[in-house]
Amino acid sequence: MIVKENYEIKNHTSFKIGGIVKKVYFPETQSEFTELLRELDDYIVLGSCSNVLISSEGYNGNIILTTELKQYEIRGIKVFVSAGVKGPLIAQKTAEASLSGFEFMIGFPGSIGGDIYMNAGAHGQSISDKLVSCCVFNKKTKEIEYKQKDEMNFSYRNSLLQNGDYILLHAEFDLQKMPKEDIDNLIQRNLEFRKSIQPSLKYPNAGSVFKNPENDSAGRLLDKSGVKNFDFEKVKVWDTHANFIVNKGDAKSIDVLNLMVKMYNAVKDTYTIKLKPEILYIGEKTGKEEELWNILYQESQK
pLDDT above 90: percentage of residues in the chain: 91
| Cα-based distances in Å from 131 to 81, 134, 160, 171, 225 | 11, 8, 14, 7, 37
Claim to verify: residue 112 and residue 187 sit in the same structural domain: yes
Claim to verify: residue 102 and residue 10 sit in the same structural domain: no
Cα–Cα nearest to 154, from 117, 110, 108, 125: 117
297 three-state secondary structure: helix
User: What local confidence, expressed as pLDDT, does residue 233 receive?
Assistant: 95
Claim to verify: residue 98 and residue 125 sit in the same structural domain: yes
Q: Which residue has the higher pLDDT, 121 or 136?
A: 136
124 three-state secondary structure: coil
CA dihedral 245, 250, 252, 258 (to 10 degrees): -40
Q: Please state, as a whole number, how many other Cβ atoms lie within 10 Å of the Cβ of residue 192.
A: 11
CA atoms within 13 A on the CB side of 180: 7
Active site residues: 157, 208, 278
Q: What is the mean pLDDT of residues 220-236?
A: 97
Q: Which residue has the higher pLDDT, 298 or 172?
A: 172
Last-in-domain residue among 25, 46, 65: 65
Claim to verify: residue 290 and residue 254 sit in the same structural domain: yes
**182 in any annotated domain:** yes
Cα–Cα nearest to 43, from 33, 29, 53: 33
**264 in any annotated domain:** yes
Claim to verify: residue 81 and residue 60 sit in the same structural domain: no
Cα–Cα nearest to 209, from 8, 14, 3, 11: 14
> What CATH number is attached to the domain comprising 246?
3.90.78.10
Query: What values do phi and psi take at 262, rounded to 5?
Result: -65, -40
Claim to verify: residue 232 and residue 269 sit in the same structural domain: yes
pLDDT tens digits, residue range 158-195?
999 999 999 999 999 999 999 999 999 999 999 998 88
Q: How far apart are CA 257 and CA 207, in angstroms?
A: 15
User: What local confidence, expressed as pLDDT, does residue 12 receive?
Assistant: 95
Query: In the structure, what pLDDT confidence band is assigned to residue 124 with cuts at 50, 70 and 90?
Result: confident
Q: How far apart are CA 132 and CA 12, in angstroms?
A: 30
**207 in any annotated domain:** no
Q: Buried b vs exposed e over 230-257: b needs ≥16 C-beta within 10 Å?
A: beeebbbbbeebbbbbbbeeebbbbbbb
CA atoms within 13 A on the CB side of 71: 13
* Contact of 170 with 90, CB cutoff 8 Å: no
* Contact of 278 with 209, CB cutoff 8 Å: yes
User: What local confidence, expressed as pLDDT, does residue 84 receive?
Assistant: 97
Claim to verify: residue 23 and residue 99 sit in the same structural domain: no
Q: What is the mean pLDDT of residues 282-289?
A: 96
User: What local confidence, expressed as pLDDT, does residue 72 receive?
Assistant: 98
* Contact of 151 with 166, CB cutoff 8 Å: no
Range of the domain at 8: 2-65
**19 in any annotated domain:** yes
> What CATH number is attached to the domain comprising 26?
3.30.43.10
> What CATH number is attached to the domain comprising 190?
3.30.465.10
Claim to verify: residue 80 and residue 137 sit in the same structural domain: yes
Claim to verify: residue 184 and residue 263 sit in the same structural domain: no
Claim to verify: residue 176 and residue 272 sit in the same structural domain: no
In terms of Cβ atoms closer than 10 Å to its own Cβ (0-12, 13-18, 19+), residue 206 is buried
pLDDT of 132 higher than 90: yes
User: What local confidence, expressed as pLDDT, does residue 299 receive?
Assistant: 85
pTM for this entry: 0.94
Structurally, the chain folds into a number of domains equal to 3
Give the containing element (helix H, strand E) for 237: strand 235-237
38 three-state secondary structure: helix
In terms of Cβ atoms closer than 10 Å to its own Cβ (0-12, 13-18, 19+), residue 10 is buried
User: What local confidence, expressed as pLDDT, does residue 201 receive?
Assistant: 76
Eight-state DSSP code of residue 268 = H
Last-in-domain residue among 46, 65, 84: 65
